[in-house]
């Protein structure tokens, strides 16, 4: 099954992960696990803070191989354990607007006989933002991270 975008401002990937939804969800919500898979290698994620509940904040710092850091802050809009996480960078904390909202992410974890149908959607405010995210390597980068997620989820 391949998921398709809901509109012309959305990018989407899907992968059947060889681990149950509970483990994939843990990898998305526990900082020490997130650090291990969240950035496409050789990039890294040296700092993660999460409060995975509706209205909770998150901070991710990705680092290039040269050590340049790129912080990203946002909030969780919806969290359904082992099923769904919706997050955005439109807010930096509580309901404080960010300088430039870029996207709303929705990840779902559907049980398929002990495996997880993982679908990640990135909805953008504008088609230009969608195109910029696509040109940044969305599909290759997010699929590489999905593979790293699977590799980790199989070990916990």
Q: What average pLDDT does this structure show over 3-32?
A: 95
Domains of the chain: 10-153 (3.30.530.20)
**pLDDT (tens digit, 9 = 90+) per residue, 29-41?**
999 999 999 999 9
The pLDDT tens digits of the residues spanning 56-72 come to 999 999 999 999 999 99
The 10s digit of each residue's pLDDT in 104-151 is: 999 999 999 999 999 999 999 999 999 999 999 999 999 999 999 999
Task: Tell me what pLDDT residue 70 has.
Answer: 96
d(CA 66, CA 46): 13
- Measured CA to CA, the distance from residue 100 to residue 103 in angstroms comes to 10
| Cα separation, 101 vs 88, whole angstroms | 8
Which residues fall within 8 angstroms of residue 143, CB to CB, at 6 or more apart? Answer: 13, 15
Q: Tell me, what's the pLDDT at 43?
A: 97
Cβ distance 46 to 52 under 8 Å?
Answer: no
pLDDT at 1: 60
Is residue 10 pLDDT above 80, yes or no?
yes
Q: What is the percent of the chain with per-residue pLDDT over 90, rounded to a whole number?
A: 94
pLDDT in tens, 67-99: 999 999 999 999 999 999 999 999 998 889 999
Q: Which helix (H) or strand (E) holds 59?
A: strand 57-63
Q: What are phi and psi of 116, to 5 degrees?
A: -125, 125
- With helix as H, strand as E and coil as C, how does 67-111 read? CCEEEEEEEEEEEECCCEEEEECCEEECCEECCCCCEEEEEEEEE
Mean pLDDT of the chain, nearest integer = 96
């Amino acid at each position: 099954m391949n998921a398709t975008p809901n509109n012309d401002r959305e990018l989407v990937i899907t992968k059947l992960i060889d681990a149950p939804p509970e483990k994939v969800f843990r990898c998305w919500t526990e900082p020490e696990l997130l650090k291990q898979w969240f950035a496409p290698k050789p990039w890294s994620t040296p700092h993660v803070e999460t409060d995975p509940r509706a209205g909770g904040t998150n901070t991710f710092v990705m680092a290039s191989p040269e050590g340049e850091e790129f912080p990203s802050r946002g909030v969780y809009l919806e969290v359904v354990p082992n099923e769904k996480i919706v997050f955005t960078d439109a807010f930096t904390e509580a309901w404080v607007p960010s300088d430039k909202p870029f996207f709303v992410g929705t990840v779902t974890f559907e049980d398929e006989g002990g495996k997880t149908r993982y679908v990640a959607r990135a909805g953008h405010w504008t088609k230009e933002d969608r195109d910029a995210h696509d040109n940044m390597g969305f599909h290759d980068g997010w699929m590489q991270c999905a593979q790293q997620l699977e590799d980790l989820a199989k070990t916990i």
